[in-house]
Amino acid sequence: IVGYRYLSPDEELPFDDEQEGLSEQIVFTFSHVVAENTPKGRAADKFAELVNEKSNGKIKIVVFPNGSLFSDIEDITALKEGQVHFIATSTAKMGGLSPEWAVLDLPFAFPTYEAIEEGIHGPIGTHLLDSLQKKGILGLAHWSNGFKQITSNTGPIRLPQDLQGQTIRIMNSDTLRAQYELLGAEAQPESFNDTYHLIEAGKIDGEENTISNIYSKKFYEVQKHLTISNHGYLGYVVMMDQKVWDQQSKNTQQILLEAMQETTAWNDRQAIKINEEQLELIKQNSSIQIHELSNQEKEQWKKKLDPLYDTLAATIGDKLVDELKALRT
Ligand code: LMR
């Protein structure tokens, strides 16, 4: 099973219209902040499609992309207050719920996509999902977007010292803040959908993100340099409020879980493909200068940033940091 652990693969879906909970149409809302043509956007739509199919149209998921329902600053509170049923928040923004989530932000934690999958769908990811129980939240799955890159107007960014003195927009994460401080940059947490305008207005020099976010939000239009650094992970935790979940019938729960399982497995493959395709589109459609870090350059970044593993172990916990370190080799 990929992504969650509530339905065993050989368990049958006892689908029956007559059974409790499916005699009327049920509508759920799903809020996220990215564009539709991104790994998360497409996964949310795929989830809605699968739920619709599996319930013969009885369960509808209405997806609100681009922060049109709630921004990334509001979504967790909105979930807790019952104003939205599903959210897929970047794991980097989960530090307010528990500092352990910062583990997934550690720089150069995952050398490959396979290591990402082992991290988020293995014991580390499961532990993080379970940690939400005490907050009254059901963590349904991890959806990966892949690796973050760096964009800036002051560049090119080849070596760690190239970011010195720059103001970099980050997601609200202590690890990311510590990372940029170590590089001599000023880290500025800002909402995702404000980023384009902040760059355009010259309020920030740059930001870090996946290619799909850089492409779909057109950051390449307002940034001069893009460094393919693959220095960090960006992914999401799909969540529901536990009370709302508990109110659902067994059938509804099983349909949602099965659709989530299929979507999660599908997303892992899609995310890689989307980011690759959209890098080609950026190359074709813009004059942004692209630099890919060489292995030697990467070693210099790692050397500079590796002390974070020790400094942040105090907040994240030694066990999780050690488990993550094992995936780096
Ligand atoms: C960001 O804020 O840069 C990302 O978390 C946006 C997203 O949801 O992918």
Provide the ipTM: 0.98
Q: 255 CB contacts (<8 Å, ≥6 apart)?
A: 13, 15, 51, 54, 55, 59
Which residues of the chain are under the pLDDT cut of 70?
1-23
Burial class (CB in 10 A: 0-12, 13-18, 19+), 85: buried
Which residues line the pocket of ligand 1, CB cutoff 6 A?
A: 33-34, 40, 72, 90, 145, 171, 192, 209, 213, 234
Rounded to an integer, what distance in angstroms lies between the CA atom of residue 316 and that of residue 102?
7
Q: β-pairing, 86-90 with 59-64?
A: unpaired
pLDDT given at position 23: 62
What pLDDT, in 10s, does the model give residues 102-120?
999 999 999 999 999 999 9
Helix axis angle for 174-182 and 307-316, nearest 10°, is: 160
Mutational pocket test of ligand 1: of 209, 216, 278, the residue with most ligand atoms within 8 Å of the beta carbon: 209
Residue nearest to atom 1 of ligand 1 (CA): 192
**Which tens digits make up the pLDDT trace of 183-217?**
999 999 999 999 999 999 999 999 999 999 999 99
- State the distance from the centre of ligand 1 to the C-alpha of 201, rounded, in angstroms: 20
* Atom 3 of ligand 1: nearest residue by CA position: 192
Question: What atom of ligand 1 comes closest to residue 236's alpha carbon?
Answer: 8
H-type helices in 187-317, by residue range?
195-200, 211-216, 219-222, 242-246, 250-285, 295-305, 307-316
Give the tokens for residue 282.
Answer: 């950026």
Number of the ligand 1 atom closest to the C-alpha atom of 145: 9
Tokens 């990215």 belong to residue: 34
Check residue 277 and give left, alpha or beta (phi > 0: left; psi -120 to 50: alpha).
Answer: alpha
CA of 181 to the centre of ligand 1 (A): 20
The torsion angles phi and psi of 269, rounded to 5 degrees, stand at -75, -45
pLDDT given for residue 297 in this prediction? 98
34 CA to middle of ligand 1, Å?
7
How much distance in Å is there from the Cα of 192 to the middle of ligand 1? 6
Atom of ligand 1 nearest to the CA of 171: 2
Ligand 1 pocket mutation pick from 192, 199, 219, 278 by most atoms within 8 angstroms of CB: 192
Q: How far is the CA of 16 from the centre of ligand 1 (A)?
A: 39
pLDDT tens, 303-317? 999 999 999 999 999
Kindly give the distance from the C-alpha atom of residue 143 to the centroid of ligand 1, in angstroms, as a whole number.
Answer: 12
- Gap from CA of 209 to ligand 1 centroid (Å): 7
Q: What is the mean pLDDT of the chain?
A: 92
Q: How many CA atoms lie within 13 A of 109 on its CB side?
A: 29
Ligand 1 atom having least distance to the Cα of 88: 8
Q: How many whole angstroms from 268 Cα to the centroid of ligand 1?
A: 17
Q: Comparing C-alpha atoms, which of 114, 141, 115, 116 is closest to residue 126? A: 141
CA of 9 to the centre of ligand 1 (A): 31
Closest ligand 1 atom to residue 213 Cα is 9
| Token pair of 117 as six digits | 């999958």
**So what's the pLDDT on residue 22?**
56
